Structure 1
Amino acid sequence: MTFAVLRALHAILGDALTDIEAVYAAADPPPTHKKANSFSRVYASPPPSPSSYSTSTPPNSDSTLEFPSLDAPYDPASAAEQLTAHPTVVAAINRIVAAAGQMAATVQVPFLTLCDAGMGYHLPSCLRVLEAAHVVEVLRDGPVHVREIAARTGVEQAKLAHILRLLATHHILREAAPDVFAANRISSLIDSGKPLRELVAKYVRVSALALFFFRYFLSFSYHILLSLPPFPSPRLPASFAPAALIHVHIREEDDRGGGGYPNRFRLERFEKAMAGTGSWEAPGAGLHGFDWASLPRGSVAVDVGGGIGSTSMLLASAERRSAIVIQDRPVVVEMGEKAWRAKCPELLDSGAVRFQVHDFFTPQPFTDAAVFLLRVVLHDWPDAFAHRILLRLREAAAPHTKLVLADFVLPLACVDDFGVGEGINVQVEGTEKMLAPAPLLANLGKASANAYWMDLTMQVTFNGQERTLREIVALALTAGWKVVRVTKAPGSLFRHIVAVPVAVLVSPQRRARAGSGSAFFDLPRVGGMAGAGNAEAGEMEMIERASSRCGTPTFGSRVDLPSVAKARARFGGVWSARDGRLAVRAVPRRLRL
C-alpha cells in the first residue's frame, strides 16, 4: 500500500498547485504601487479581503500573477504576496506542506530522519547568528561574497561561510555563486529596515516578529559558535559556553591507581553511540572508494586513528593482499585487540592484522606504507591540527604511498565550477558541479541536511568541521598531499578522497578557508613536533586528549567490531566456503590508481 499512499500524496500536491494557480490566474492584473524598502518589515494585517480579487477574470498570460518567488525579497505590498492570504490559497498551501512532509518522511532513510530531527537545533543557532551579526542588512542590496560579509560583521570568515551555507541548504538564504550569498523571501523578513550605521539601536523599533524569533532562538550552540576562538585553537567549544547554559552530569570513574583509565563510563557510552555511524556509508563504499586489490602482496595499509578496527575488519574480510595495521590510543588498542581476539583470532595470529599504539601527532613509525587511511579523523580537528596529522603522514610517506580520507564532503548550495584559485591548479577526478538540476538546489537542499548538521556538531563539539572539497584540497596541499580523486556512493555525501605525495610542501602558513578557494589566511606556525619548543608543547598539552575526549577513538569511528557475516552483508558479496573469504565485485577500472 505504500506506493498507493505516495501516489495519493503526489496527487494532493498536484491538485493543491492547481488550486493556487487558478486563484492567481483569476486575479486582476497587479496594481501599480510604490514599493517600500524591498526588505520592509511591514505586514498586511488584517490580511486583504478575498473579495478584492476578481474570481471571474479568465486566465491571461499577460495579466496572470505569479506566486512570490523564493529568490526575491519579501514584499508585503505586492499583490502576489497579499494573495497568499486568500482562503483557497491558504488551504492549498497547508496541503502542500503536509503532503510534502509526509512524502519526505516516508521515503527518507529512517536513520537520516532521526539525524535531521536530533541535530536540527543547529538551525536556530545559525538563524541567531544571521540576525545578531546583521547579515541580512549587509545583503540588502544584493549578493555579497562571504569575505566582505565577514569584514562588515566581524564574524570569522571560515565559520560564517559554513553557517550561511547551512541556511542556504534550508532555503533561508541563497548561495548565488561559490561563497557569494544573497537574501531571499524568507531571510529578508528579518531585515530591520535600518541603515547599517544605525544598527546599534536595532531593537528600538524592530518588528515584533523579529523579537519573537530571536529572543527565543537563544540556544546553546549559538553561544558556542560566537564564543569560539579562531579555528587553530584545539580547545573544546563547550569550555567557552556560558556556564548557565551548561548542565551536564557526567559520572567520572577515575581508577588511575588501579591501572585503569579515567572516564570509563563516558567511553562505554561513546562506544554504544558510535555503533550507528556505519549508516553514514553505503554498503561496500569503503571497499570501492579505493582499489585495494591493486596493492602489491606484502604491502602495508595503516588505519590511522582506526578505533578498534571496524573499518579494517570489513577490508580484511574482503581483501588480504596486504597487512593491515590499526593505530590508536592505548585504551582503544586494548579494546580492539580484545574484540578481534574474540571474533577472528586467526587474523591476529597470522599477522594479517595487528594493532599499534600511536598518537597521530607524533612521527609515524611506518615509512613505507602503501596506504594511510584516515576515516572520520580530520573532522574532529581545526585546520592547524588537521594539518599536523597530515604532515606527519607526509613525512613518513614513500613516493608510492597513497592517502585515503573518508569523511563527509560538503557540496556548495550553488553550481560549483571547482577550482582552488590563488594560482593552485588541481585537477580532481570525480568532482561534480551539481548534485541535482534546477529548480532543485545544486546540493539537493534538505536531502543533504545530515552532512551540514554534522558540520555544525563538529564545530560546537570539537571546534572541528566537515569540509568542502575545496577546503580539503587546499588543506591537503599545505601538508604535501595532492588530491587526485574523490569517489562517492549513491545517496550519500560521505566520500573517499585519494591523495598522493607531492615533492614540494606548500607553506603551512597558507591554506584555504571558508570553502572559498581564493581566500587564504595566515596560520600559526605548525612545524614538526620533534623540535617543538615550549610554546608548541604547551599548545599541544592544551588539547588534553585523554580527558577531554575520554581517550576514545575519533568521533564517528565505529567501536563495535562487526562479525565476518556482517562484513559479508555490508559488502553485498558472495561468501566463499573454500577459503573463508568474501568475493566482492571487481572495482571498476576507472577507480584504479
Structure 2
Amino acid sequence: MTYHIFAEPTPGAVCHTASSRLLAENTGLRAWVANTLNELLPAASRMVDAMERWPGSQEPNEAGWNLAFGNPDAMFAALGRDETRAKTFAESMSFFEARPGLAIHYLVDEEAIGWGGVRKMVDIGGSHGKVSIGLARKYPSIKCVVQDFKKVIEGARPPDDVDDQVSFMAHDFFNEQPVKDADLYLLRWVLHDWSDQYAIRILKALTPALKPGNRVVINESCLPSHGTMSLYQQRFLRATDLTMKQIQNARERDEADWKTLLKGADERFQICDFKHPPGSELAIIIVGWQ
C-alpha cells in the first residue's frame, strides 16, 4: 500500500489500484517483474562471490548468474535453450524497450548521421528490424539489411510498405561481416551485453568490410561523468551497469570507455561525433574509418 500497488479506502478494506490492475493484466510488466525476481536478483546476490572466484574475468559464463544457478553456460545461451525462461526474458525486454527514452525516433531523426545520403545500411543484431523499418519509412532511398542469429530472425518479414527496402540475414556478429558494400553499419544496444574483450571482437569482425568513408554508428547508453547530474538521475544507469556485470560480466560505458574500446579494436576507428539527443536514454556515437 505504501508503494500505491494496493489501497485502503476505509479501515480494514483492501482494494486494487491502477498499478495492481496493470500487474494483473499487462503481460509485459508481469514478465519484467518475473525476470527481475527470477534471474536478475539471484545473479546480483552472487556478484561478489563471482568476482572473488574469477578475479578480473571478462568471460560471460563467470558471472554472478552462473553461481546463482549453478550453470556453466553464459546466461543468454542458457536461456535460449529454455523456452519458458526465454519467452519471459524476451517479453520483459520488449516491455523495457517501450520506454519513451528508448524510442527509435531519436536515432532515425538525428541529422548528424545524414541518413538521407546513406545508400545501404547494415543493422547488426537488429532483431526484427524495428529501427530499419523506421528508417525505410522515412528515407525511401535507403536499403537496410537486418542481421541477427538465425533463431531470432526466423519468420521475420518486413511490412509490405518497405518490403523492397528491408531484408533479413542470419549472421553471428563474432564472425567476419559478409556485407561489404554498405555505407553504414549500425550497432544499437549490442555492445553493452559484452565485456570489452568480446565487444572488441565484434568490432574487429567489422573491419574486413570497411572502406575509407564508411561509418559505424553505435547507439548505446553513455554513463555520465561524476558530478554532471544528480545521483537520482544517474541511479538507473549505474544500476544497469551493475546488472550487466552480474549477469554476463558485461558493462555500460562512459565516453572515455567508448574511446578506449574503439582504439583497442582498431586504430583506424575515429570518433567523428558524440551526440546525446535531449530526452534519449541512449547516446549516438558516429565513428569513421580511416
**Interval of TM-score (by shorter of Structure 1 and Structure 2):** 0.7 to 0.9
Quick one: distance in 2 between partners of 1:463 and 1:284? 30
Letter in structure 1 aligned against 2:162: L
Counterpart of 2:108 in structure 1 is: 287
What pairs up with 1:203-218 in 2 under 5 angstroms? Answer: none
- How big is the alpha-carbon RMSD for the aligned residues of Structure 1 and Structure 2? 3.0
Counterpart of 1:232 in structure 2 is: 58
Counterpart of 1:381 in structure 2 is: 194
Q: Residues 137 and 162 of structure 2 are in contact (CA less than 8 Å); yes or no, is this contact kept in structure 1?
A: no
Shift of 1:284: 1.8
Structure 1 residue 274 and structure 2 residue 87: aligned?
Answer: no
Structure 1 residue 408 and structure 2 residue 198: aligned?
Answer: no
Distance 1:494 1:300, change over 3 A: same
Q: Residues 308 and 336 of structure 1 are in contact (CA less than 8 Å); yes or no, is this contact kept in structure 2?
A: yes
User: 1:55-111 CA distances to partner (integer Å, 9 max, x unpaired)?
Assistant: xxxxxxxxxxxxxxxxxxxxxxxxxxxxxxxxxxxxxxxxxxxxxxxxxxxxxxxx9
Task: Pick the structure with more strand per residue.
Answer: 2
Quick one: distance in 2 between partners of 1:309 and 1:263? 24
Quick one: distance in 1 between partners of 2:233 and 2:68? 33
Counterpart of 1:497 in structure 2 is: 285
User: 1:536-583 CA distances to partner (integer Å, 9 max, x unpaired)?
Assistant: xxxxxxxxxxxxxxxxxxxxxxxxxxxxxxxxxxxxxxxxxxxxxxxx
Distance 1:243 1:487, change over 3 A: closer
Shift of 1:409: 0.4
Q: Residues 223 and 242 of structure 1 are in contact (CA less than 8 Å); yes or no, is this contact kept in structure 2?
A: no
Distance 1:234 1:221, change over 3 A: closer
What pairs up with 1:444-459 in 2 under 5 angstroms? Answer: 444-459=230-245
Letter in structure 2 aligned against 1:442: T
Shift of 1:393: 1.0
Structure 1 residue 479 and structure 2 residue 265: aligned?
Answer: yes
Aligned residues with identical type, % of pairs: 26
Quick one: distance in 2 between partners of 1:400 and 1:234? 34
Letter in structure 1 aligned against 2:160: P
Shift of 1:228: 4.2
Q: Residues 236 and 463 of structure 1 are in contact (CA less than 8 Å); yes or no, is this contact kept in structure 2?
A: yes
Quick one: distance in 1 between partners of 2:65 and 2:241? 19
Structure whose alpha-carbon radius of gyration is higher: 1
Quick one: distance in 1 between partners of 2:126 and 2:193? 13
Structure 1 residue 442 and structure 2 residue 228: aligned?
Answer: yes
Letter in structure 2 aligned against 1:471: D
Quick one: distance in 2 between partners of 1:262 and 1:457? 22
Shift of 1:445: 1.9
Counterpart of 2:15 in structure 1 is: none
- Select the residue among 309, 316, 319 that pairs with 2:139: 319
Q: Residues 234 and 385 of structure 1 are in contact (CA less than 8 Å); yes or no, is this contact kept in structure 2?
A: no
Q: Residues 281 and 489 of structure 1 are in contact (CA less than 8 Å); yes or no, is this contact kept in structure 2?
A: no
User: 1:207-244 CA distances to partner (integer Å, 9 max, x unpaired)?
Assistant: xxxxxxxxxxx933443444444243232514652669
What pairs up with 1:508-519 in 2 under 5 angstroms? Answer: none
User: 1:154-197 CA distances to partner (integer Å, 9 max, x unpaired)?
Assistant: xxxxxxxxxxxxxxxxxxxxxxxxxxxxxxxxxxxxxxxxxxxx
Q: Residues 113 and 286 of structure 2 are in contact (CA less than 8 Å); yes or no, is this contact kept in structure 1?
A: no
What pairs up with 1:16-165 in 2 under 5 angstroms? Answer: none
Quick one: distance in 2 between partners of 1:242 and 1:293? 44
SS in 2 for 1:302: strand
User: 1:319-374 CA distances to partner (integer Å, 9 max, x unpaired)?
Assistant: 2221000000011111423xx3xxx13422x2x10000001111111112111000
SS in 1 for 2:173: coil
Counterpart of 1:329 in structure 2 is: 149
Counterpart of 2:8 in structure 1 is: none
SS in 2 for 1:336: coil
Shift of 1:410: 0.6
Letter in structure 1 aligned against 2:127: G
- Select the residue among 166, 190, 193 that pairs with 1:353: 166
Shift of 1:294: 3.6
Q: Residues 146 and 166 of structure 2 are in contact (CA less than 8 Å); yes or no, is this contact kept in structure 1?
A: yes
Q: Residues 371 and 401 of structure 1 are in contact (CA less than 8 Å); yes or no, is this contact kept in structure 2?
A: yes
- For structure 2, the 5+ residue unaligned runs are 1-28, 71-77
Shift of 1:485: 0.9
Letter in structure 2 aligned against 1:498: I
SS in 1 for 2:181: coil
Structure 1 residue 303 and structure 2 residue 129: aligned?
Answer: no
- Select the residue among 192, 198, 219 that pairs with 2:45: 219
Distance 1:336 1:451, change over 3 A: farther
Q: TM-score, with normalisation over the residues of structure 1?
A: 0.38
Shift of 1:281: 2.1
- For structure 1, the 5+ residue unaligned runs are 1-110, 126-217, 245-251, 254-260, 414-440, 503-593
Quick one: distance in 1 between partners of 2:115 and 2:203? 24
